[in-house]
Amino acid sequence: MKPVETISWDDTDQAVHLIDQTRLPGGYRNVRCASVDRLIRAIQRLEVRGAPALGVAGAMGVALAARRIHDKDFLQFSEKLAIEAERLRRARPTAVNLSWGVDRVMARAATGLSVKEVRDLTLSEALSVADDDARTCHILGGVGAAILPEKCTILTHCNAGALACREWGTALGVVRSAVESGKEVRVIACETRPLLQGARLTAWELQRDGIGITVIPDSSAAYLMRQGMVDLVLVGADRVTSDVVFNKIGTYMHAICARHHKIPFYVAAPLSTFDPVRTEDDVEVEQRGREEVASFAGVETVPPGVPVLNYGFDATPLSLVEGIITEKGVLRAPLDWDFISREQKK
Ligand code: MRU
């Protein structure tokens, strides 16, 4: 498998570097984010995206902020750092990993007693967020690979791969680990309207690794299930609350179709994506711009003046989920939230 450096910290120029995912598959370009403003823009434009990668971006964003705030007075420095952290947290609302990554580094920053110490602490914590994510994805991949049949076709939605994480991936991490262990796995990627993360990103990274991949329009998923062409549905998650799994818009309809066709519907997500204190109603679902729906490849596809609705995510009730593949095993409803909260604190 060819490693992908989705997001990294560059010590030489003290900046966050990331693959511009808006250019793939046509172009491979690295973006350098040397300011918090630029990083927030990258998050909002989806140059960097996917829940775990957003966690790393949030974490590195705090380290970046600590380097760009020039106040020598510790109190003023700390106040400004808190403001920058809040701006990062709010860059996108649905994936909990973003605020989780920011909060994890801010908790470490709170133990520092000088500007220099906080700068050092924020960077070392941000780097361990990135390392932990990579390690977690590999463990989770192994857990998921163990429950896959020797030969299967998996339908996935959006991109829950190396590009959505530091490396390896969650749902696609399971696929990679299964292929590595000798299983014969093929993937059907729903294109994922309107921004085509499935067609552009999932297909790009699996083709690069030589894993069998076919892209379909989102609208053909039910028919393929009816034709017996799908053994399992496997997606990532942006937030798991006590009642639902938030993931890319379209996920819910796959879950309903899978249940109708008696096909297991699995979610792969690290514990950092679990939000024990919230329910569906507490979570803001991102609504994105009209232009993403009202045009295609630069051509207008909706008459001017006709409104569009562009929710970025939907919520799938846990009752439709066969299991959530995590680094701590496959969790099944009803979820043991005491266990999850305890493990999250470790
Ligand atoms: O809008 P995006 O591209 O950030 O949405 C990403 C998804 O919905 C992914 O499925 C999810 O973050 C899981 S990534 C491991």
What are the residue ranges spanned by the domains of the chain? 7-136, 140-345
Q: What is the best residue among 245, 247, 273, 274 to mutate for testing ligand 1's pocket, by most ligand atoms within 8 Å of CB?
A: 247
Task: Using the CB atoms, write b or e for 213-228: b if 16+ within 10 Å.
Answer: bebbebeebbebbeee
Residue type, 227: Q
276-303 mean pLDDT: 96
> Which ligand 1 atom lies nearest to the CA of residue 236?
13
Residues in the chain: 346
User: 156 CA to middle of ligand 1, Å?
Assistant: 12
DSSP 143-172: HHHHHS-SEEEEEEES--BGGGSSSSBSHH
How would residue 274 be classed by pLDDT, with cut points 50, 70 and 90? Answer: very high
If you measure from the C-alpha of residue 261 to the centroid of ligand 1, how many angstroms do you get, rounded to a whole number?
25
Q: What is the pLDDT of residues 77-87, one digit of tens each?
A: 999 999 999 99
- What are the tens digits of pLDDT across the range 91-137? 999 999 999 999 999 999 999 999 999 999 999 999 999 999 999 99
**Cα(200)–Cα(211) distance, rounded to whole angstroms?**
15
The structural architecture, per CATH, of the domain 140-345 is 3-Layer(aba) Sandwich (3.40)
Judge contact between 261 and 225, C-beta under 8 A. Answer: yes
Residue 1: predicted pLDDT: 87
247-273 pLDDT tens trace: 999 999 999 999 999 999 999 999 999
Averaged pLDDT, 275-292: 97
Pocket of ligand 1 (CB under 6 A): 46, 49-52, 95, 158, 160, 164-165, 170, 197, 235-238, 247-248, 312
Amino acid at 315: A
CA–CA separation, 84 and 77 (whole Å): 11
Closest by Cα among 52, 43, 53 to 22: 43
Q: Are strands 265-268 and 323-326 parallel, antiparallel or unpaired?
A: parallel
The string of pLDDT tens digits covering residues 63-75 is 999 999 999 999 9
Identical fold at 7-136 and 140-345?
no
pLDDT tens-place string over residues 166-192? 999 999 999 999 999 999 999 999 999
In the prediction, which pLDDT does 91 show?
Answer: 98
Tokens matching residue 189: 């990627």
> How much is the mean pLDDT over the chain?
97
User: Of ligand 1's atoms, which has the minimum distance to the CA of residue 197?
Assistant: 3
Query: Residue 297's pLDDT band (boundaries 50, 70, 90)?
Result: confident
pLDDT band at 58 (very low <50, low <70, confident <90, very high): very high
Give the pTM: 0.97
Q: What is the pLDDT of residue 346?
A: 87
- The tokens of 324 are what? 């959530």
CATH for the 7-136 domain, from 3.40.50.1980, 2.40.30.10, 1.20.120.420, 3.40.50.280 = 1.20.120.420
Q: Cis peptide before 194, with omega less than 30 degrees from 0?
A: yes
Phi-psi region of 46 (alpha: psi -120 to 50; beta: other; left: phi over 0): left
